[in-house]
Amino acid sequence: MTQPTFTVAEFRKATFSSPNQNCVCVARRNGWTAVWDDKLADERYTPEMSLPDNELLVFTDDQFDAFQVGMRAGRVEDPHLAISRRDGGYVFQAAIPQLIAGVELRFDEAEFDAFRQGVLNHEFDGARFIAA
């Protein structure tokens, strides 16, 4: 299974997120899930633009689904997606090999809370992306 590229338009954020960016965004396609920070976008980013690998954390759907199950059970530690506290915020890193090593996505408390709420409300489940 080859990892696809993801375009800006494929990403969605939790309903509790700010409408003016600053969010954890998730896209799902062809058995893969990508996590992106839309703060990285600027005026050059168009909906059809493919995002660079150095801005994404990419997991298989099964890996991301296991992360969500754990988060719903109250666990933040995961063998695939590592979330840690740093400088008053949260840092997302892959705990598994990625196309680009060392990618870190940084979120503040409100961004993380909106994402967590989206996970708890099943907003990032695969069936939600198929129906869209």
Q: Is 53 left (phi over 0), alpha (psi -120 to 50) or beta?
A: alpha
pLDDT of residue 10: 96
CA–CA distance, 104 with 14 (Å, rounded to integer): 20
Residue 38 pLDDT more than 80? yes
Neighbouring C-alpha atoms within 13 Å toward the C-beta of 121: 11
- pLDDT, one tens digit per residue, over 43-69 is 999 999 999 999 999 999 999 999 999
Residue 20 pLDDT more than 80? no
Q: Residue 102: count other Cβ atoms within 10 Å of its Cβ.
A: 8
8 Å CB contact between 40 and 21: no
- pLDDT, one tens digit per residue, over 72-92 is 999 888 999 999 999 999 999
Residue 1 pLDDT more than 90? no
- pLDDT, one tens digit per residue, over 87-105 is 999 999 999 999 999 999 9
pLDDT of residue 28: 97
Q: Report the percent of the chain where pLDDT is more than 70.
A: 98
Nearest to 1 by CA among 30, 25, 29: 30
